[in-house]
Amino acid sequence: MIARAFPLVSLILLTLSACATPARMHDEAQLNRVALGCGLALGELIQDQSEKRLVLLVHDNPSPGQQLCVAQWARKNGLKPVFLTVKFPEG
């Protein structure tokens, strides 16, 4: 019985592993193109080497459209968007 189930289990695991692609690092130029395309400034979209699956939007009060734009791009690239609202000091 177990010998017959092994090929099926192996096939299922192989299929699932094909869907789980490892996150890749995007360089600064790529992230800046996405940021500009979403109406953000250069450097407001970052990806940390230690958490490759996360893409961070660091912006003071991003609009829902900007958040949606980043979220859609992140999803297409197998990343999870994280939105950080940062209040920069004036002066």
To the question of pTM greater than 0.85 for the whole model, the response is: no
pLDDT digits (tens, 9 = 90+) for 20-62: 556 789 999 999 999 999 999 999 999 988 889 999 999 888 9
Q: Is residue 38 situated within a structural domain?
A: yes
Is the confidence at residue 78, as pLDDT, over 80?
Answer: yes
Is the confidence at residue 1, as pLDDT, over 50?
Answer: no
Q: Is residue 5 situated within a structural domain?
A: no
* Helix 64-76 with 28-37: angle, nearest 10 deg: 140
**How many domains, the chain?**
1
CA angle 70, 84, 75 (to 5 degrees): 25
Q: Is residue 60 situated within a structural domain?
A: yes
Instruction: Name 73's Cβ contacts closer than 8 Å, sequence gap at least 6.
Output: 34, 38, 55
Q: Is residue 46 situated within a structural domain?
A: yes
